[in-house]
């Protein structure tokens, strides 16, 4: 289930994938991520640490 939380100064999205597996990258092509796109390192799960 994907979730969106809209706050006063930010939008927090949790994207649920339809197929289990790791994404090679978030964006299409070789473009850099926009400056407003940030990673929440407190919720980061490394591929090697995942026990799915």
The token pair at 8 is 């006063």
How far, in Å, CA of 9 to CA of 7, rounded?
Answer: 6
The answer to whether the beta carbons of residues 2 and 12 sit under 8 Å apart is: no
pLDDT of 50 > 70? The answer is no
The answer to whether the beta carbons of residues 13 and 3 sit under 8 Å apart is: yes
pLDDT of residue 1: 76
If you average pLDDT over residues 41-49, what whole number do you get?
77
pTM value > 0.75? no
For residue range 9-38, what is the model confidence (pLDDT) as tens digits? 888 888 777 888 777 777 777 878 888 888
pLDDT of 51 > 70? The answer is no
């Amino acid at each position: 289930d994907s979730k969106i939380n809209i706050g006063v100064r930010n939008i927090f999205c949790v994207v649920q994938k339809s197929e289990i597996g790791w994404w090679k990258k978030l964006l299409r092509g070789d473009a850099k991520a926009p400056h407003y796109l940030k990673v929440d390192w407190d919720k980061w799960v490394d591929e090697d640490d995942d026990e799915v």
